[in-house]
Amino acid sequence: MKYKLLVSAVTILVISSVSGFAAQPLQLQIDQIKAQQQQLQQQLAQLQGNSSSGGLVYVGEVGGKLISAKSSRFGRDLGLLKSLQKAGNQAPLLTLGGVLEANASYGRSVLPNSDDKILSTNGFAANQNSSSVWLDTARLDVLARINDWVNTDLQLDLHKSTVLRTGVLTIGNLNESPMYFTLGKMYPYFGDFSGHNTSTNYPLTTNYFRIKAISGASLGFYQSGLNSSLTVFKNQAQLTQAGTTPIVYSASNNNHINDWIFNTNYSFNVNNIKAKVGVGYIADLTNVSDSSIARGQIFEKNGEQLPAWNMSGQLAIGPISFKANYAQTTKEIARTGGGELKGYNLQAGYKFNWVKPIDILLGYSALKNTDYLIQPNLTSGTVNSLTSEPGLKNQWLLGIRAKLLRNTWGALEFARVGQYSSLTSDDTSHYNIVTADFYVKF
């Protein structure tokens, strides 16, 4: 019955348009007919359950990869707002997506207690070869568009004991205002320390400077490629000097906002050239770094906050891309001989098609002053002690990734890692790791 009504409406509109030809200019009549036709097509699509408004639920990526593993950490709130702006009225009210990822690694001449995932839960004798297979990611992403200004975004790690990876409420509409506000558990933007799109052996700067997920609030600004954000949060284990000699520290929790991060970056596109530059600053790096090594080793030398800053840049010219970042603390770390913790990462990539899309990465990263690190003894509260493992020094990383099937990728990575031979030596030993990575996005 509904379709008959639509057909009748189309017939009436055509007759009305023809009868008015003599009274109106031809072009105006044509424009009116097109507008009427488009309106009727939208009504027909709604009757068929295929509305251009986006509908209620969508499974998968929408609106320029609205939910994507590529934006699973930093700047995700802005990325979602930009995607919603691009999707317009095609953005659904509820979007469900996710990723499944599995890895298999083999390490040769690996030192014990390294931060590599091969040895994350097992101890091996020095120079022993080892292998491991594990489920790296089983994630469900849920985006709910409450209205044009309010969105909720959840990341659920279904394979971990702590299921809620991130959960935020974002208030903003880039069509109306360049300002946006995010509240909840998030990865605050402190710089770009990521490696290859599917990298398992991350650049060494990631091990010490990348920020883990925290609960806080962020105020952001985005306009014409310029993005700035200020995030405030509570550092759960603010360390203070206990007042003894040699220096020791005691953890003192409080309910006050005592840490903050500021980041700003600018991106632009000119023809076939894409570029992005940025800087970031954190008031206290202690206890908020993403790596377990960093949380155990980076302690301020004099019982104060340990600020850090970074700068990064990306450049893509057609299929060729480059990336660089540098970071360091502004105060000395707990280390025999003192010195600030410093690190940098350089990468080059190339994309091409050979049966399937393929991209290749070559990277080098290095750290300074990770030897002779001191672990403040929080148990006895009276003495300092050396850390339980030598520090990392440098790493070469070679990776190749290919699209195997629809929404399915595979990658192969090789890392050669330099590590100090012992706690009291600056001699370097090396271990090699080969990792196969497979993931599916849905």
Domain spans of the chain, in order of start: 2-47, 57-441
Closest CA to 289 of 273, 304, 306, 301: 306
Which residues, other chains included, contact 440 with Cβ-Cβ below 8 Å and sequence gap of 6+?
Answer: 99, 100, 101, 407, 408, 409
Closest CA to 432 of 420, 414, 410, 406: 414
Full pLDDT tens readout for the chain, 442 residues: 444 443 344 344 434 444 443 444 566 656 666 666 566 555 544 444 343 445 688 777 776 667 765 678 888 999 999 988 888 878 888 989 888 999 888 887 655 444 334 333 333 445 567 778 888 889 999 999 999 999 999 999 998 888 999 999 999 999 999 999 999 999 999 988 877 666 777 888 887 898 989 999 999 999 999 999 999 998 765 555 444 444 444 455 556 788 999 999 999 999 889 999 999 999 988 778 866 455 545 666 666 788 999 999 999 999 999 999 999 999 888 777 888 999 999 999 999 998 889 999 999 999 998 888 776 554 544 445 555 566 789 999 999 999 998 889 999 999 998 888 776 677 788 888 899 999 898 8
Backbone angles phi, psi at 156, to 5 degrees: -115, 120
> C-alpha distances in angstroms, 134 versus 104, 141, 163, 334, 403?
7, 21, 17, 34, 21
- Beta carbons of 327 and 273 less than 8 angstroms apart: no
Claim: this prediction has a pTM higher than 0.75: yes
- Beta carbons of 279 and 311 less than 8 angstroms apart: yes
| pLDDT score recorded for residue 342 | 94
| pLDDT score recorded for residue 291 | 63
| pLDDT score recorded for residue 346 | 96
Q: Read off the amino acid at residue 131.
A: S
| pLDDT score recorded for residue 387 | 54
| pLDDT score recorded for residue 56 | 81
As a whole number of angstroms, the distance between CA 276 and CA 220 comes to 17
| pLDDT score recorded for residue 185 | 96
As a whole number of angstroms, the distance between CA 195 and CA 324 comes to 10
As a whole number of angstroms, the distance between CA 52 and CA 38 comes to 12
- Beta carbons of 334 and 370 less than 8 angstroms apart: no
- Beta carbons of 312 and 289 less than 8 angstroms apart: no
As a whole number of angstroms, the distance between CA 203 and CA 176 comes to 38
Report the run of H or E that residue 296 belongs to, with start and end: helix 292-297
Which residues, other chains included, contact 166 with Cβ-Cβ below 8 Å and sequence gap of 6+?
Answer: 76, 153, 154, 155, 184, 185, 186, 187, 213
> C-alpha distances in angstroms, 264 versus 40, 79, 221, 222, 238?
47, 15, 9, 10, 26
- Beta carbons of 250 and 242 less than 8 angstroms apart: yes
b/e string for 292-330 if b means 16 or more Cβ within 10 A?
ebbbebbbbbebebbbbbbbbbbebeeeebebbbbbbbe
What single-letter DSSP state applies at residue 29? H
Alpha helices in 48-177 (DSSP H): 76-87
| pLDDT score recorded for residue 178 | 97
CATH superfamily placement of domain 57-441: Porin (2.40.160.10)
